[in-house]
Amino acid sequence: MPKAPFNAWLVPAGRLLLLLGLCFLIAGPWVCSIPQLQLLTQFLSLLVIAIMWNLLAGYADIVSVGQHAFVGIGAYAFFGFAVFAGFSPYLALLAGGATALVFAVPVMLIIFRLRAAYLAVGSWVVAETLMLGAGKLTAFGGGSGVSMPVSVVRSLGVQPALRYSHIYWLALAVAAVALATTWLLMRSRIGLGLTAMRDNEEGAGSVGVNLIRSRILCFLWTAPFLGLAGGIITLQKLRVAPPASFSITDWTVYVIFIVVIGGIGSFEGPIIGTVVFFLIRQYLAEIGVWHFIILGMLSIGVIMVEPRGLWGILRRVVPGDLIPVSHRPPARPLAGSDSAPSGTHLKEPHSTPAG
Amino acid sequence: MFFSWANQILQGVLVGGLYAMFAMGLSLSVGIMRFVNIAHGDLIVLVSFLILSLTQAFGLDPILAVLITLPLAFLGGYLLQRYLLQRVIGEGVLPIILVTFGLSIIIQNGLLGTYGADTRKVAGGGIETATLMLGKGINVGVLPLAIFVTAMVMVAGLDLLLYRTRMGARIRAVSDDVSSANLVGLPSAHIYAIAMGIVGVTVAISAGFMSVWTNFDPTSGPSRLITAFEAVVLGGLGSLWGTLIGGIVLGVAQTLGAQFDAAWQVLAGHIVFLIIFMLRPQGLFPRN
């Protein structure tokens, strides 16, 4: 090993910060008021959606502007299973995620026939069609939507405080599973191929990365998590309506800004972006529509100047990834096999995928 | 009964003329610059608001207002391509999608902040309601007919421009192989910018007709983009006559959908698009 650089302490410091963030999230229900807990629940849902969009756009080269469709499908399916089928909210949440996965297959068959920017608008057409279709479901109140019956709401807790902490735990569980499994995916052989695709698509293809299979896996990977996020959001809002459940502004526009400004194509980027977004959100709300203009200009500026976003800027000083998804070359030369199992890349002590 | 259906289909065809007009600029940027401008619909709405301001603030005739916006739109398109889009072109697909996406959000919210969320329309001075009665219940609006004829003239004109003029040859050369075009001394950045200027002119013409014929508000852009995109893909990427046919297919699908239930109008267009796209992903008239 070469001598550690002067700023080597920044990596453990950053990891410590992530760990403290995780501790804070776990302690949330005991230290936060109900409105704060609701804000944290929104944070976790948006974090999941941002991680998923980054996986698609930042690695798999699927720049979708229609991922809000799966949030909406998850929301409607959760509502349907919980209210009409009488499932418990927990089971309905899982069923909502599964429904999003089921819908992802035909959606994929349509939009994967388009390339690049055509795929972007194509995914938007599909999302628009699904939203309009949801507006035709009379059982769900048609175009104006419907509220959740009180009996279902109460099954999560009679007192609001208990209910909100239940919803919060669900959101934290979904976010933890989404982050941990996506991190494992990125660390796996498939993730290695994805990183190669991100850096050089043709090169990755020529060394044997199966581009199509990786894209299919990523697209299907994101759908159930988006569906779960949709269910959590519905639990919080207690109603479904086409424009709100399938909100392109909330689940695509903000998410794209978050990921681009935080840093597309890195694991840390969406986390940093979501944290920054929630820190400045209340100030943004005060300036009305102009905050979209600022976010839009900021993200165009980021793409022109530092396409790797805030994390790209920080990474000039920080000598390593906080959440390592790439593999270090082995410290000593290995005899023969290059597909040595997990022993070659020891997991870092503080690499907990936290928000 | 037959004539009532024939009338509906005819109305759909005429609506398709407007959709084709939205789509023409997108078809050009897809065919020449090889990118989809996500802000395309928002640019149409932006010019519509410009026309609205010109007619309201200065009391100009809508036609005069459109004529004033034509050179402005050309210049706007030129500058947009030269100083923003050209910088991110050729660096993979992600930057250009994200930049035009950001632009779309900026335009929508800039218009919302400036004009408010109200639905607007430009007064056309009676042309909106003028109708030709062709008998047997078949009526043709003068404005839709004018739009349809203009759309056809635009396709023919753009075809001539691209395939019969020197500028068109240059544009096609840069589009086919930008490095070879640079090698023989073509100023590719300038030529791309001129092509985007031409896109700007089609945007201004369609904005002029749209602002008189239909209502619009600051958030109308995305639905215009989606319609334009569907027409381009249905027609076959890069084929201008195909784009016109694609627009007509959408227009007819929407009017027939609205016949069954007014609420199904937009959805019917999307569903017909998705069905045809699954059956013929290369579009109805693929260029190659």
Nearest C-alpha of chain B: how many angstroms from A68?
15
Which range (A67-76, A263-272, B70-79) has the least confidence?
Answer: A263-272
Q: Do B108 and A292 touch (CB under 8 A)?
A: yes
- The pLDDT score that the predictor gives to residue A118 is 85
Q: Tell me which residue in B113, B229, B267 faces A289 most closely, judged by beta carbons.
A: B113
Give contacts of A117 with chain B, Cβ < 8 Å. Answer: 35-36, 38, 93, 96-97
What is the arithmetic mean of pLDDT over A87-110? 94
Q: Do B109 and A113 touch (CB under 8 A)?
A: no
Neighbouring residues of A317: CB distance < 8 A, sequence distance ≥ 6: A7, A10
Single-letter amino acid code for the residue at B69: T
> Which of A105, A132, A299 to mutate against chain B (most B CBs within 10 Å)?
A132
Residue of A nearest to B36 (CA): A117
What is the arithmetic mean of pLDDT over A238-250? 92
Q: What is the pTM of this model?
A: 0.89
How far apart CA B229 and CA B277 sit, in angstroms, is 12
Q: Do B35 and A143 touch (CB under 8 A)?
A: no
Q: How many CB pairs under 8 A join A and B?
A: 110
Sign of the CA dihedral running A120, A125, A129, A135: positive
How far apart CA A274 and CA A115 sit, in angstroms, is 28
Which two structure tokens, joined as six digits, stand for B195?
């092509």
> Which of A105, A303, A305 to mutate against chain B (most B CBs within 10 Å)?
A303
Nearest C-alpha of chain B: how many angstroms from A290?
7
Distance set, CA B102 to CA B40, B118, B264 (Å): 12, 23, 31
How far apart CA A323 and CA B152 sit, in angstroms, is 57
- Tens of pLDDT, residue by residue over B128-155, are 778 888 777 788 889 999 999 999 999 9
Nearest C-alpha of chain A: how many angstroms from B186?
25
How far apart CA B173 and CA B183 sit, in angstroms, is 11
φ, ψ (nearest 5 deg) of residue A327 = -105, 135
How far apart CA B148 and CA A40 sit, in angstroms, is 53
Nearest C-alpha of chain A: how many angstroms from B267?
6
Nearest to A47 by CA among A244, A182, A247, A237: A182
Kindly list the structural domains of chain A, giving each domain's residue range(s) and its CATH number in brackets, ordered by start: 11-326 (1.10.3470)
Q: What is the mean pLDDT of chain A?
A: 85
> Is the Cβ of B93 closer than 8 Å to some Cβ of chain A?
yes
- The pLDDT score that the predictor gives to residue A159 is 83
Q: Tell me which residue in A61, A121, A264 faces B225 most closely, judged by beta carbons.
A: A121
Nearest C-alpha of chain A: how many angstroms from B172?
21
Domain ranges of chain B: 8-279
- The pLDDT score that the predictor gives to residue A4 is 60
> Is the Cβ of A141 closer than 8 Å to some Cβ of chain B?
no
What is the arithmetic mean of pLDDT over A245-269? 92
Q: What is the DSSP string of B92-140?
A: -HHHHHHHHHHHHHHHHHHHHHHH-S--B----TTTTT-EEE-STT-EE
Neighbouring residues of A52: CB distance < 8 A, sequence distance ≥ 6: A67, A178, A182, A221, A222, A225, A226
Q: Both ends of chain B: CA-CA distance in Å?
A: 41
Give contacts of A309 with chain B, Cβ < 8 Å. Answer: none
Q: Tell me which residue in B93, B237, B278 faces A110 most closely, judged by beta carbons.
A: B278
Nearest 5°: the CA angle A18, A259, B31 is: 160
> Is the Cβ of A111 closer than 8 Å to some Cβ of chain B?
no
Q: What percent of chain B has pLDDT over 70?
A: 99
Count the neighbouring beta carbons within 10 Å of the beta carbon of residue A3: 6
Which range (A200-204, A242-246, B164-168) has the least confidence?
Answer: A200-204
- The pLDDT score that the predictor gives to residue A340 is 40
* B101 alpha carbon, distance to own chain's centre: 17
Nearest C-alpha of chain B: how many angstroms from A113?
7
Q: In chain B, which ranges are continuous DSSP H helix?
A: 2-28, 40-58, 62-80, 86-88, 93-115, 142-164, 166-176, 178-183, 188-213, 221-235, 240-260, 265-279
Q: Which CATH number describes the domain made up of B8-279?
A: 1.10.3470
Q: What is the DSSP string of A265-327?
A: TSSHHHHHHHHHHHHHHHHHHHTTTHHHHHHHHHHHHHHHH-TTHHHHHHHTTS-S-SS--S-
Say if residues A129 and B271 touch (Cβ distance below 8 Å).
yes
Neighbouring residues of B156: CB distance < 8 A, sequence distance ≥ 6: none
Q: Do B226 and A120 touch (CB under 8 A)?
A: no
How far apart CA A245 and CA B68 sit, in angstroms, is 42
- The pLDDT score that the predictor gives to residue A353 is 40
Upper half-sphere CA count for residue B123 (Cβ side, 13 Å): 8
Residue of A nearest to B97 (CA): A117
Say if residues B212 and B222 touch (Cβ distance below 8 Å).
no
Q: Do B105 and A292 touch (CB under 8 A)?
A: yes
Nearest C-alpha of chain A: how many angstroms from B10?
25
Give contacts of B233 with chain A, Cβ < 8 Å. Answer: 114, 118, 122
- Tens of pLDDT, residue by residue over A322-349, are 887 766 665 555 444 444 443 333 333 4
How far apart CA B134 and CA A183 sit, in angstroms, is 67
> Which of A125, A201, A247, A308 to mutate against chain B (most B CBs within 10 Å)?
A125
Nearest C-alpha of chain A: how many angstroms from B143?
29
- The pLDDT score that the predictor gives to residue A81 is 95
Give contacts of B94 with chain A, Cβ < 8 Å. Answer: 57, 61, 63, 264
Which two structure tokens, joined as six digits, stand for B58?
């200065």
Is a pLDDT exceeding 70 seen at residue A351?
Answer: no
Is a pLDDT exceeding 80 seen at residue A5?
Answer: no
How far apart CA A72 and CA A226 sit, in angstroms, is 9
Give contacts of A292 with chain B, Cβ < 8 Å. Answer: 105-106, 108-109
Using 50 as the pLDDT threshold, list the residues of chain B that sit under it.
none
Nearest 5°: the CA angle B186, B191, B194 is: 160
What is the arithmetic mean of pLDDT over A285-311? 89
- The pLDDT score that the predictor gives to residue B84 is 92
Give contacts of A304 with chain B, Cβ < 8 Å. Answer: 87-88, 99
Q: What percent of chain A has pLDDT over 90?
A: 47
Give contacts of B35 with chain A, Cβ < 8 Å. Answer: 117
> Is the Cβ of B35 closer than 8 Å to some Cβ of chain A?
yes
How far apart CA B272 and CA B280 sit, in angstroms, is 12
DSSP label at residue A58: I
List the 157-196 stretch of B: residues with Cβ below 8 A of A.
none
Is a pLDDT exceeding 80 seen at residue A198?
Answer: no
- Phi-psi category of B125—alpha, beta or left, where left has phi over 0 and alpha has psi -120 to 50? left
Which of the given ranges, A85-89, A93-97, A190-194, A282-286, has the highest pLDDT on average?
Answer: A93-97
- The pLDDT score that the predictor gives to residue A97 is 96
Nearest to B69 by CA among B203, B227, B249, B182: B203
> Is the Cβ of B95 closer than 8 Å to some Cβ of chain A?
yes
Nearest C-alpha of chain B: how many angstroms from A41?
26
Q: What percent of chain A has pLDDT over 70?
A: 90
Residue of A nearest to B27 (CA): A118
